[in-house]
Amino acid sequence: MIVSGDALKSLAQEAALMPQEEMLEVGKKNKKLYIGIPKETSFMENRVALAPEAVGLLTAHGHTVVIETKAGTGANFTDSDYSEAGARIAYDTEEVFKADLIFKVAPPTNTEIEMMQMKQTLFSALQLAVQPKNTLKKLMEKKVTAIAWDYVKDNSGIFPVIRSMGEIAGNTAILTAGRYLSEDTGRGMMLGGVAGIAPAEVVIIGAGTVAEFAARAALGLGAIVKVFDNSTYKLRRLQNSLGQRIYTSVITPKVLAKALRRADVAIGSLRAQAGRTPMVVTETMVQNMKEGSVIIDVSIDQGGCFETSRVTSHEDPIYKEFGIVHYCVPNIASSVPRTASFALSNIFAPLIIDIGEGGGMEKIIYDNPGFRHGVYMYRGSLTSSYLGETFGLPYQDLNLLMAAR
Q: What is the mean pLDDT of residues 16-20?
A: 58
| pLDDT score of 14 more than 80 | no
Which residues does 81 contact at the CB level (< 8 Å), separation at least 6?
52, 72
Bridge partners for 88 per DSSP: 66
Cα of 153 vs its chain's centroid, Å? 10
Pairing of strands 64-68, 88-90: parallel
Least confident of 60-64, 336-340, 396-400: 396-400
Range 34-158+336-403: architecture per CATH: 3-Layer(aba) Sandwich (3.40)
Q: What is the mean pLDDT of residues 311-335?
A: 89
pLDDT-based confidence at residue 384 (cuts at 50, 70, 90): confident
- Is residue 370 within 8 A of residue 356, CB to CB? The reply is no
Distance CA 219, CA 236 (A): 17
- Is residue 241 within 8 A of residue 211, CB to CB? The reply is no
**Closest by CA position to 250, among listed 228, 227, 234, 222:** 228
User: Tell me, what's the pLDDT at 93?
Assistant: 93
Distance CA 328, CA 27 (A): 49
User: Tell me, what's the pLDDT at 16?
Assistant: 52
User: Tell me, what's the pLDDT at 272?
Assistant: 77
CATH 3.40.50.720 fits 166-330, yes or no: yes
Share above pLDDT 90 across residues of the chain, in percent, rounded to a whole number: 60
Least confident of 24-28, 181-185, 240-244, 272-276: 24-28
Are 34-158+336-403 and 166-330 equal in CATH topology? yes
pLDDT tens digits for range 104-150: 998 898 899 999 999 999 999 886 655 677 888 999 999 999 999 88
Which residues does 108 contact at the CB level (< 8 Å), separation at least 6?
102, 116, 122, 124, 135, 139
Q: How many CA atoms lie within 13 A of 351 on its CB side?
A: 26
| pLDDT score of 17 more than 60 | no
- Farthest-apart Cα atoms in the chain, separation: 109
User: Tell me, what's the pLDDT at 18?
Assistant: 60
Distance CA 169, CA 177 (A): 12
| pLDDT score of 27 more than 60 | no
Domain spans of the chain, in order of start: 34-158+336-403, 166-330
Least confident of 158-172, 271-285, 312-326: 271-285
- φ/ψ of 55, rounded to 5, equals -60, -40
Mean pLDDT, rounded, of the chain: 88
User: Tell me, what's the pLDDT at 196?
Assistant: 84
Bridge partners for 324 per DSSP: 321
User: Tell me, what's the pLDDT at 236?
Assistant: 94
Q: What is the mean pLDDT of residues 329-334?
A: 86
Which residues does 148 contact at the CB level (< 8 Å), separation at least 6?
124, 125, 126, 374, 375, 376
Residue at 9: amino acid letter: K
